[in-house]
Amino acid sequence: MQRHSRTALSFVVAVLAGLVGTTMADAQEKAMTDSAETAAVEAAKKAAESWLELVDAAEYGKSWAAAASMFKAAVTEEQWEAAVLQARGPFEPMGARQFLGAKFMTELPGAPKGQYVVIQYQVMAADNTKLVETITPLRDTDGTWRVSGYYVRVP
C-alpha cells in the first residue's frame, strides 16, 4: 500500500511539475510578447508623433507621402489635403497634445490583419474645444511603422 501511495505521489508531483513548467513557459512567452508589444507601441508612437508634426505644420503633401502604403492606396494626396482641412480647419491652430493611451492590435474593423497601434491624444483647439485625435500606425510592408489612419472628434 505504501508503494502505491508513493507511485501516486510521484505521479502527482510529476503532473504539478509539468503544470508549473507549462505555466512558467507561458509566463515567459507572455513576457516576451508583452515586451515585443511594448517596443511596437513605442516605435508606432514615435512614427505617429513625427507624422503629426507634418500635419501640424500644414505639410499635408509630406504627411501623405510619409503615410502607410494602405493609406496612400485609399486616398489621393489631394483627397487627403481636403479631408484634413475639413476635419481640422475649424479648430486650428491646435494646442499641445496630452497622451491618452495606446493599444497594440492585430485586427481592426474594415482593415486587413496586421500589426497596428491605436493611439489617442487629447488636444485643445484654438477656441478651447477639447478634441480627441486617434492615430493608427501600422507596421508597413517594409517593416517600418507608418500612419494608416487619422481621425479627429469632439468627445
136-148 per-position pLDDT tens digit: 999 999 999 999 9
pLDDT below 70 — which residues of the chain?
Answer: 1-32
The three three-digit cell numbers of residue 70, written as one number: 494602405
Give pLDDT, residue 16.
30
Cell of 73: 492606396
Other Cβ atoms closer than 10 A to 41: 19
pLDDT of residue 10: 30
Domains defined along the chain, listed by start: 45-153 (3.10.450.100)
pTM value surpassing 0.85 = no
The C-alpha cell at 32 is 516576451
Closest CA to 148 of 47, 58, 56, 79: 47
Q: ω into residue 93 within 30 of 0, thus cis?
A: yes
Cα Dmax for the chain: 85
Q: What is the pLDDT of residues 119-128, one digit of tens each?
A: 999 999 989 9
CB proximity list for 91: less than 8 A, separation 6 or greater: 125, 126, 127, 129, 131, 152
Strands 145-153 and 130-139: antiparallel
Give residues with Cβ within 8 angstroms of 124, minimum separation 6. Answer: 94, 95, 96, 130, 131
